[in-house]
Each structure stands twice: as C-alpha cells, then as structure tokens.
Amino acid sequence: MRPEPSFARSLVAWGNACLRGTLSPDELDRWWPRTRFVRTLGFRDGDRALGPQAWLAERQADGASRLRLDARGIVGCESVLACADAAVSAWRQRWDRIPDAKEAPWFDAVFTREAPPSELPPPSRSADEVLAELTNALQGLVTLSERADLSHWGSYFARVLAVARGELVEGDSLLPPTAAPEVHQLARAANLADVFGGMGSWNDFEPLRDPASESERERCSSLLFTSTRAALAATAEQG
C-alpha cells in the first residue's frame, strides 16, 4: 500500500500556518487523527522523540521561517525541509507497518533528521498555474474517453475535472482553513487525480490498440502525473 503523498503536503501547509501564527499548533494536533492510514505522527532527532506541537515549537525557536516540501523525491517518500535564514533541516518521511493491523489506519509515520540537501527545491508554481495544467490533462483524458474505451476511467476523470473546474466540491482538501479558495480547489482535485499506484490503479491500464490513441493517452497521463506532483508543492507552500 503506497501512503498518500498528501500527508507530507498537509504537514507542510499546516506547519506554515502555525509558524506564521495564523493557527496554533494545537489545531495541527487535533487534525492529525483524521488522516487516513496513519495512527501516530512523531519526529525523531537522534534519541529524542517529539510530538508535532513540540517539533513546531522548536522550529519556531530555531528561527524557521517556513516548511517546504521537496516533491522531487520518490512517490510516497517526500522530503520536508524546515527553512530558516541561516540553516536548513531535512526530515525524511518513513512509513512503518503497524503490527497485526486488521484495518486502516495501517501506518505509523515517523520523521527522522537527515543531512541538509545540497540545494533547495525549486520554488513552487502558483496554484492557478498548476490547476490550469491539471485541468488540461483531465480534459484531454475525458476527450480521449469519448472515442476510445477507457473502461470506467473516463467517467472518473470527468468527475475529477468537475472538481478542478469548481463545478463540484468533493473530498477534503486536508489544508488549513486559512488557505485561499483556489488552493483548496487544487488540493481537492489533485487528491482525486492521484491515481498512480499498483494493481487496479491507472498504472495498471492495458495499452490502447490504436497507436494514435495510446500516444495521446501517454501524453495526457504524463501531464497528469507531473501536475499532481506540482500540486503537492504548490498547495503546501501556499496553504
């Protein structure tokens, strides 16, 4: 089971809100139990174990100005960076299977300190720009489904497209209430558009027989993947 990339994104967004003082760390603590597939959230620095409120308080004391998400990591293992004027700390997401778990939540989440990256991730793009790109990818897949058999995926992408266009509100953005409406909209659409995974996912789709249609499907699928990744960083930084 691949943990949701939105987990790291949400930590950065809520952390930014707490560091800016627009929300208290207690708001973050109350929110975490709602996260799917996660039982506990902890931070480890050597032998020290910290809860989210204590970790955020230490980042404030260190002079951290914001948290950033390095979405260049492998899927499901994004880096969270605590940025300050003089230093950068890297924390790597690690997911541990809860022993003998019979149903969700299945994972503990632990963040461990790693060496600072050689360079910071590139600045995130605006939510409006990424939303336009995501909408374009979804529209392409919906249009393709009208002339090629995409099984149930055509109707699914049509629903996600309606969310991206603001015609339908579905799902939780998992962002602080202080985030702008377009950021919430992008987060909801990107959460639904993250269809990449293992068995039964969009990756498990059998190639189309028509070469031209398959080429178009691959193009739209690639754009869908890059836009959902860009949405992680955009909604984290702007949340």
Taking only the tens place, the pLDDT of each residue in 157-207 is 999 999 999 999 998 888 999 999 999 999 999 999 989 876 778 888 889
* 114-123, 125-134, 152-161: range with lowest mean pLDDT: 114-123
Within a domain: 107: yes
Within a domain: 77: yes
> What's phi and psi for 137, nearest 5 deg?
-65, -45
* Average pLDDT, rounded, for the chain: 84
Which residues lie below 8 Å from residue 176, measured CB to CB, with a gap of 6+? 13, 14, 17, 22, 23, 27, 239
**Res 1: pLDDT:** 40
Contact 154, 202 (CB under 8 A): no
Same domain assignment for residues 137 and 86: no
Same domain assignment for residues 12 and 109: yes
Question: Is residue 120 helix, strand or coil?
Answer: coil
Q: Which of 170, 174, 143 is nearest to 239 (CA)?
A: 174
Same domain assignment for residues 133 and 34: no
pLDDT digits (tens, 9 = 90+) for 43-76: 877 778 888 888 888 888 888 888 888 876 655 5
Within a domain: 227: yes
Same domain assignment for residues 152 and 219: yes
- Work out how many domains the chain is built from and give that number: 2
Structural domain ending residue among the three candidates 85, 114, 143: 114
Give the helix/strand (H/E) hosting 68. strand 64-70
> Which domain covers residue 152, as residue numbers?
127-238
Beta strands in 102-194 (DSSP E): 107-114
Asked whether the predicted pLDDT for residue 109 surpasses 70, the reply is: yes
